[in-house]
Amino acid sequence: MFFDFGIKDVIDIVLVALMLYYIYHLMKESRSLNVFIGIMMFVVLWLFLSQILEMRLLGSIMDKLVSVGVIALIVLFQDDIRKFLYNIGAHQRIPLVMKFFSQDKKNKVDKENIIPVVMACLNMSKRKVGALIVIERSTPLDDIAETGDDIDANINQRLIENIFFKNSPLHDGAMIISKKRIKAAGCILPVSHSFDIPKELGLRHRAAMGISQECDAIAIVVSEETGGITVAIKGKFQLRLSAEKLESILTSEMAV
C-alpha cells in the first residue's frame, strides 16, 4: 500500500490541509470554532468506526447522520458559506481594456458625488455627529437597503447631515449610496465578530467591518465619541482620516 503513495497523494493531502486551515480560520472569525472542532471529531470517529474497525451497524447509522448532517450544516453555516463563496468570486476583476477606456469618465463622474460625502463627513466630524455611510460597488446591496427606509435622492451634503442629525429617527442606522444616489437610510448591517477590531471602536465600526468583509462595498464611519473618520474596505480599516485623505481613497477606489 505504501508503494502506491505518489505525488498525487501528496498534492491531495496538501489541498485538504489548506482547505481545513481556511475553514478553521473562517470559523474562528465567526466564533463557530467549537462547532467546527466538534464536527471534525465526529468525522474522525465516523472514519475510525466504519473504515478501521469496520463496525457495519454503527457505521451505517453514522453514515445516515452524515448524509442528513450535510443539509443541517448548510442551514447552520449559510452566512459562512456565503462569505466563503464571495471570497472566491472576489478574485475576479474587470478586464484592463475596459478599465482603460472608462477610467477618465468614471473619475469625473465620481468626483461630483464624492465631494458632498466628504464635506458632510468633515462637518459631522467637527460636531462629533456619528454616521455610517456605505457606498455600493459591484455587489448589490438591495437586501441591506430593504432593512431601512427608502430615500432615493441625489447625493447632497445637507441631506446627509440632516439624516445623521442626533434627533433624526434614521441617524442610528446606515445610509446606502447606490448608483450615484442615496438609496436608503436607517439600514441594518451585519456586525463583524472579529477579535482584531480594537476595543475602543464601537458598534458602527463593527458594522462597517462586517459589510466590508461580506462584499466589496466602501463603508465610512464618523465616530460620535472622537469625531474620527474611518473607512473600511475589504475587511481592513483606515483610521483617523483627514478630508483630503478620505477624498483620495474614495476617488481611487471608485475608479476601480
Residue pLDDT, tens place only, 67-95 = 777 777 777 666 666 666 666 565 544 44
Looking at per-residue pLDDT, the higher value among 188 and 3 belongs to 188
Give the pLDDT confidence of 166-223 residue by residue, as tens digits: 888 888 899 999 999 999 999 999 888 777 788 888 899 999 999 998 888 999 999 9
Domains assigned to the chain: 2-89 (no CATH), 96-254 (3.40.1700.10)
- Give the span between the Cα atoms of 21 and 237, in whole angstroms: 24
Pair 184, 148: CB distance under 8 Å: yes
Identify the pLDDT of residue 26: 66
* The three grid cell numbers given for residue 215, joined into one nine-digit string: 462584499
Checking if the pLDDT of 162 tops 50, the result is: yes
- Give the span between the Cα atoms of 136 and 212, in whole angstroms: 10
Q: How confident is the model at residue 2 (pLDDT cuts 50, 70, 90)?
A: very low
Residue 125: which residues within 8 A CB-CB, separation 6 or more? 222, 227, 228, 229
Q: What is residue 168's DSSP assignment?
A: S
φ and ψ at residue 24, rounded to 5 degrees = -60, -45
* The three grid cell numbers given for residue 1, joined into one nine-digit string: 500500500
Q: Which of 232, 179, 178 is nearest to 205 (CA)?
A: 232
Checking if the pLDDT of 233 tops 60, the result is: yes
* The three grid cell numbers given for residue 179, joined into one nine-digit string: 448608483
In the numeric block, the cell 468583509 is attached to: 213
* The three grid cell numbers given for residue 152, joined into one nine-digit string: 432615493
Identify the pLDDT of residue 17: 85
Q: By three-state DSSP, how is residue 233 classified? A: strand
Strand-strand pairing, 181-187 and 149-154:
antiparallel
Give the pLDDT confidence of 106-125 residue by residue, as tens digits: 444 467 889 999 999 999 99
Q: Which amino acid is at 252?
A: S
Q: Which of 247, 201, 226 is nearest to 125 (CA)?
A: 226
Looking at per-residue pLDDT, the higher value among 33 and 229 belongs to 229
β-bridge partners, 230: 221
Identify the pLDDT of residue 197: 85
In the numeric block, the cell 430615500 is attached to: 151
β-bridge partners, 233: 218, 236
Task: Please give the average per-residue pLDDT across 233-244, as a whole number.
Answer: 92
Identify the pLDDT of residue 82: 67
- For the chain, list the strands marked E by DSSP: 131-135, 149-154, 174-178, 181-187, 218-222, 229-233, 236-238
* The three grid cell numbers given for residue 54, joined into one nine-digit string: 469496520
Strand-strand pairing, 174-178 and 131-135:
parallel
Let me know the angle formed at the C-alpha of 68 by 67 and 70, rounded to the nearest 5 degrees: 70
DSSP H or E stretch at residue 22: helix 7-29
